Amino acid sequence: MIHYQNPNLVVGSIPVWEDKILLCRRAIEPRYGLWTLPGGFMENGESTGAAAIRETQEEAHADIALGDLFSMYSLPYINQVHLLFRAKLLNLDFSAGEESLEVRLFSEADIPWNEIAFRPIKLSLESYFADRKQGQFMFHIGELAAPTHS
């Protein structure tokens, strides 16, 4: 019998309301108490888009209209691929789900950059704001090496 071990897909959204982004403060490990975009592990039998919508609903009780795939980061050192979709927040009726301590809208200037939980999230947010300034959204792809600790 052959047992395959495949990478996990982490799928989420970048929910936007006007000029603000919805972030979730994590209520679980890893990175408890830090901020992230709504997202999580894709489930079997689910499309990437459906996973992004489900995770946004679970973590932020937020309704979104899913847009284009915005970023894809491979993290081979932990067997993960992170996919983030641009999304429009449909209303302001959101609240913290079980895996979130709180959810809040942030303008670019107010994002707690030093408290972002994961590198793919920080890179995607930086790219989002840079693209928005340019007036054109691109697809961002990268591979991240294991962090070095000095």
Domain map (residue ranges) of the chain? 8-143
- pLDDT, block means (10 residues), the chain with 150 residues: 90 98 98 98 97 98 98 97 98 98 98 98 98 98 90
Closest of 105, 131, 102, 94 to residue 16, by C-alpha: 105
Domain 8-143 fold is Nucleoside Triphosphate Pyrophosphohydrolase (3.90.79)
> pLDDT at position 5, please?
87
> pLDDT at position 28, please?
97
Check if the beta carbon of residue 13 is closer than 8 Å to that of residue 56: yes
- Cα 84 to Cα 8, 60, 107, 150: the distances in Å are 14, 16, 19, 30
Strand, helix or coil at 106?
A: strand
Backbone angles phi, psi at 60, to 5 degrees: -130, 5
Backbone angles phi, psi at 86, to 5 degrees: -70, 145
> pLDDT at position 141, please?
98
Asked whether the whole model's pTM tops 0.85, one would answer: yes
> pLDDT at position 150, please?
60
